Structure 1
Amino acid sequence: MKWRSLMWILWPSFLAAAMMTFFVFALIDPLDIVIFGHIQASRMQVYAAGFFFFWIMAAISSALTLNIAPRPKEYDEFGEPIN
């Protein structure tokens, strides 16, 4: 994967994850979340886990979008299209 494509995937997904984290944790108190019924996590652990979860989900969405986007035609040095 080209570095530019990676930038197109990770930067918008980072911004989306930041916004999603803001909105979700504005409504949900992290101390009310209990994992597997008995594991209590601290606020910062839940914030971090939520942010990275949202970032991964948004990155997958951006990668799939980039994957199905139409590709521009490539030309060789003589101006002929490359198939």
Structure 2
Amino acid sequence: MDSQLDKGLPPSRLAMVVLWPSFMMAGVLEALIFAVVDPGDLWVSDQLGLSRQGCYTLVFLLLWLLVSIAAGISVLLARMPEDNEPGRRSAPHWPR
């Protein structure tokens, strides 16, 4: 597995690898959700006294957070330790 994730990308680049696709997916998910559900019917708008636009914003930010966490975990799991890095120990049967 010789990908860019193994080459040690800078943290800002890794952040964009996670945040940009999750931003796009949050937009898609929000469109799908609000195609079916009226934002005025959600408990969030009643409990917090939010307008429709406030409800759209809050749901979008929550979806972005959830998808970002999932994408971040995927990136962390995809990064594999280098065999020749000094001081790095790997499990004896690490899949390579």
TM > 0.5? yes
- 5+ residue gaps, structure 1, are 75-80
Q: Which amino acid aligns with 1:31?
A: G
Would you tell me which structure has more strand in proportion to its own residues? Answer: 1
| CA separation of 1:16 and 1:72: change in aligned 2, threshold 3 A | same
**In the aligned structure 1, how far is the partner of 2:81 from the partner of 2:43?**
48
Q: Which amino acid aligns with 2:19?
A: L
1:1-83 → structure 2 map (5 Å cutoff): 2-35=11-44, 38-71=47-80, 73=82, 81-83=84-86
Q: How many residues align?
A: 77
Q: Percent identity?
A: 27
Q: Which amino acid aligns with 1:63?
A: G
Give the TM-score taking structure 1 as reference length: 0.79
Instruction: Please provide the CA RMSD for this pair.
Output: 2.2
Give the TM-score taking structure 2 as reference length: 0.69
- 5+ residue gaps, structure 2, are 1-9, 87-96
| 1:41 Cα offset (Å) | 1.9
